[in-house]
Amino acid sequence: MRPFFFSLAAFALACATSSPNQQTSGTRRAQDDAQHQYQDAASAQKRATEEQDKAEQADRDVTNAQKALADAKLRRDGQHAKAAQAQRDAAQMARDAQERGAEMQRRATQLQAEEASRAMQDKQRVPTQMIHGALTAVTPNTVTVRSDDGGDVRLQVSDSTIVNLDGRSASVSAVRTGADVRASYGILEGQATATRLDITSSQPRDEGQDASFSNTK
């Protein structure tokens, strides 16, 4: 019986001496496992936080893009409105300019008519004088008449001057020096201006011709 008890004692001693080491090893493993779990959880939380930050940044980017788009639409609408108003203003200015142009044209025509009427009235009011003699000089705008008493008179010729050559209507360019002329003229704007020239290529001059000239004024 003594060997059996000895074996039991040895077994108990062995159990008593080995159990704390085994328990310590198990605790350490559990602690290590827990540490790993904590680290894995922390890593997962970090990744989740990073992803959340990225998602929030994406939301801010979308918000900013939407705001930029809204601002761009507002600017576009405002520019379209300005362009439309500019078109309306340009059309109105064109209409106004056309109306002013037409009014100015009417006024210019009226002024021309009034000036022509005044010129005609002035011409009618200019005292008419007579001269009879020979042509000594002819230019497109003037004729010089040497009167019977020997004095020279230079007369302006205008578009309204009536020119008759040998009884027919003619222009000053057809007149030659030395021809006989009977002229009526007046002082217009300080210059002697011919109103009528009756010219004959030949030289005969008598009282009857002078009387007929006076009757044809």
pLDDT in tens, 181-194: 999 999 888 889 99
> To 5 degrees, how large is the angle CA 189–CA 191–CA 196?
105
CB neighbour class for 188 (10 Å; exposed up to 12, middle 13-18, buried from 19): middle
d(CA 85, CA 83): 5
Domain residue spans of the chain: 42-125, 128-215
Quick count: other Cβ atoms within 10 Å of Cβ 123?
15
In the predicted structure, residue 208 carries a pLDDT above the cut 70: no
Residues 162, 198 contacting (CB under 8 angstroms): no
Longest dimension (CA), the chain: 203
In the predicted structure, residue 5 carries a pLDDT above the cut 50: no
- Please say whether the dihedral angle defined by the alpha carbons of residues 110, 111, 114 and 119, taken in this order, is positive or negative: negative
**For 145-178, how does the pLDDT look when each residue is reduced to its tens digit (9 = 90+)?**
999 887 899 999 988 899 999 999 999 989 999 9
- The reported pLDDT for the residue numbered 215 is 39
CATH superfamily of 128-215: Copper binding periplasmic protein CusF (2.40.50.320)
Residues 183, 148 contacting (CB under 8 angstroms): no
Predicted confidence band at 51 (pLDDT cuts at 50, 70, 90)?
A: very high
Predicted confidence band at 22 (pLDDT cuts at 50, 70, 90)?
A: low
